[in-house]
Amino acid sequence: MFQGFTGSGKSYLGSALAKQACQHRYRAHYIRMPDLEEAWAAGRDKPGGKEKFLRKYAAFTLLVIDEWLLDQPDDNTRSMLLELLERRYDTTSTVFCTQYAKKDWHQRLGSGVHADAIMDRIVHRTIWIETGGTNMREHTADNAA
């Protein structure tokens, strides 16, 4: 879990981790949460689409999900996340990049039974890395001026 301020390097670290995994011949994939939701919406109504989507994203040895919980997921997305994380649980690695602290996740996930189940599949075996409060884009721009 990479958690920190906007511009603190979460996406950079997640992307670099996925690239390194690929270079070591692991099946890895980096995706932004809005793009994952869009792929889910595009595939779920097609015949066999739900299963194909879940098989695809469950098969990656490393899945990096950036912009985790940037927008609150709807019921369909929560159901997908629960099923996807269940399939990945204890067999593969998932990295989440987010601005939100763990204490805010349950509410952002809808605070219901799905939120409980999703959180249960994430928090117990997670390594939490705080990327800090410095916006590196601003820092770099200030130093270049």
pLDDT in tens, 70-126: 999 999 999 999 999 999 999 999 999 999 999 999 999 999 999 999 999 998 888
In the DSSP assignment, the letter for residue 92 is S
| Better-scored residue on pLDDT, 141 or 44 | 44
Q: What is the pLDDT of residue 139?
A: 54
Q: What percent of the chain has pLDDT over 90?
A: 81
Mean pLDDT of the chain, nearest integer:
92
DSSP code for 126: P
Rama region for 112: left / alpha / beta (φ>0; ψ in -120 to 50; rest): beta
**pLDDT at residue 26 greater than cutoff 60:** yes
Residue 95 is encoded by which pair of tokens? 């990295």
**pLDDT score, position 136:** 62
Coil, helix or strand for 131? strand
The CATH code for residues 2-144 is 3.40.50.300
Closest CA to 45 of 76, 72, 75: 76
Mean pLDDT over 28-43 rounds to: 97
Model confidence band, residue 56 (pLDDT cutoffs 50, 70, 90): very high
Q: What is the pTM of this model?
A: 0.89
